[in-house]
Structure formats: structure tokens, C-alpha cells
Amino acid sequence: MSTLLLTHTASSLNHKVSEGHPERPDRIRAMEKALSQDIFKPLVREEAPMGDIETVKLCHDESYVDEIREMSPKQGIVYIDGDTMMSPGTWEAAMRGVGGANAGVDAVVSGKAQNVFVGTRPCGHHAERNRAMGFCIFDQAAIAARYAQTKHGIGRVAVVDFDVHHGNGSQDIFWADPTVMYCSTHQMPLFPGTGATQERGEHDTIVNAPMHPGDGGTIFRQAFEGVILPQLQKFSPELIIISAGFDAHWRDPLANIQLDEKDFGWVTKKLMDVADKSAGGRIVSVLEGGYDLQGLHDSIVEHVSALMGH
């Protein structure tokens, strides 16, 4: 089995942002450079298809989806909020992100691939049911989890988020759902301000392990081994979706947890161990943050290498 990389480069690059914005098209170029190395030659690469509007509505209100579609500009950039924007290419990029994640679910459920890395942008985990924020339009990871349940009848799905920012959108979407576990390590205090330990959801299926600035890899690993992995094992997911943000890397300009790329390889292998026990090894990983291009490059190398079993 090999990891199936689903990406549609043209559409991901066509989501334009304002000058100096950290969530820029060069992030995709850094990913492509990372995955052009010889070690990744066995990767099966497929274009991410357009997502289906109906699957987006599994997690987002219909009125919100319609509003985003109507806001899509013919030219220039439209601001949804102070740091979240749309250009003429954003709608397709966001919908291919959704389609890529859902196609990833299809691939692991059918046995076509063991694991999938969805390398698209914009990222998604801050997008709430009816609100875009934090560079995010639609929550691809959350949608993929719901899609796995509705299309394939998977019962329990875990969404595990190691982006340095808390995935308030994913938490919002799954707050009252006993069938999806959302787990997150993230820096606090930091945008968006959610993710305290006591935020546990209505069924104790929200697991937050906030970290302090400067904590580093040892504390990160302790948070997973002491808090997140035991809860995941108890939940026994049939599929794991990763919100794979690499902005906790020490080089990243937006935060200060001070991880290095080896930490991302380590946590990926730990999640693969959980998946092996209860999910038939099935993991779909969706790119979220990571804004220093070298840090992103190095972290993707470690993460995807681990997913390939190296």
C-alpha cells in the first residue's frame, strides 16, 4: 500500500491573498518541493476532484455555503474578515480541498490506499458552521469525517489536530456529537482563544491539550501520550482524520511552541499505531497551517515519510 497524495496544484495556487499574507500560494510550492524528493517517488498522485456542495452542507449551514459562493469575486480580493479573503480562484480551491479530502476517504475505505495526504489550501479547521475565519473557508477535515459516516457507514471517526492554533471550527461542528472525537494540541493563549482543557463537548468527545509558549517537543509528546492517545484508544475510531498543521514548528512566525520536524514524524507514527488497532490503519491527513516555508517543507517530509511507513 502507498499513500495517495491528492492535490490540484493549479487551483490551490489560484487562491490569492493580499501582499504579505502568511497563508500564501508559496506554501503549496514548498510542499511540492518537499514531495519531489526520490523517497516520495512511490506516492500515487491524483488530482483532487471538485467537492460536492451537498457534502459541504454536512458541516456548514446552507445559507453560509450560498453566501460564500455569492461572495466569490470576478476580480481582485474580497475580505470576509480581517484575515480571511477570497479571490476569483478561491471557490474552486476550497471545493477541491473538500473533494480531495472526501476522495481520500473513498481511497482508504476501498483499500485503494492505506493512508492519504491531502495537500491543498486554503486550510479549514477554523471555519465554523456558519462563519469563515482564520484563513479558513470550509472545514475539509470535518466534512471528510461526516462524509465517511454518511457515504460509507463508518461509525466512529476521530479528527486529530496538531496545528498550533485550536480548531474552533471542528470543535463547534462536533461539540454535541458522540460519534466523532475531536482532539487538539495547540498554543494558549493564541488565536482563536478556544481550546481550554475544560471544553469537553456534550459527550466527553472533545479532548483539548493546550500548551504554553516555548513548551517544545517534550511537552508536546507528553500531551499526546498522557492526554490524547489514551482517549483516542478508548474511543477506538474506525477512521482517523488528521488536521495536519505544521505551524508549531520552531521556525514559524505565527506561534511559539518550538517543535521541530521530528516531532511531527513521531506524532504521525503514534496516530498510525492507534489506527492500526481500531481503524484498519486508515488515516486521511489534511494540510492545515504552516507558514515558514522551510519549516513547512521539512515537516511535510517527516509527516509523509511516516505515513508511507518509513
Query: Which run of H or E residues covers position 32?
Result: helix 26-34
Tell me the β-bridge partners of 207. Answer: 183
- CB-count exposure of residue 95 (10 Å: 0-12, 13-18, 19+): buried
Catalytically annotated residue among 126, 165, 297, 303: 126
Catalytic site residue 15? Answer: no
- The set of residues, in sequence order, having a beta carbon less than 8 Å from that of 54 and lying 6+ positions away, is none
CA distance 144 to 288: 14
Q: What is the 3-state secondary structure (H, E, C) of 172-232?
A: HHHCCCCCEEEEEEEECCCCCCCCCCCCCCCCCCEEEEEECCCCHHHHHHHHHHHHHHHHH
CA distance 288 to 164: 10
Write the CA distances from 250 to 126, 184, 211, 225, integer angstroms: 22, 18, 14, 21
- The set of residues, in sequence order, having a beta carbon less than 8 Å from that of 289 and lying 6+ positions away, is 23, 123, 135, 163, 164, 165, 245, 246, 247, 254
**Signed CA dihedral, 218, 232, 130, 116: sign only:** positive
CA distance 191 to 159: 20
Write the CA distances from 232 to 4, 26, 108, 203, 278, integer angstroms: 24, 34, 19, 14, 10
Active site residues: 126
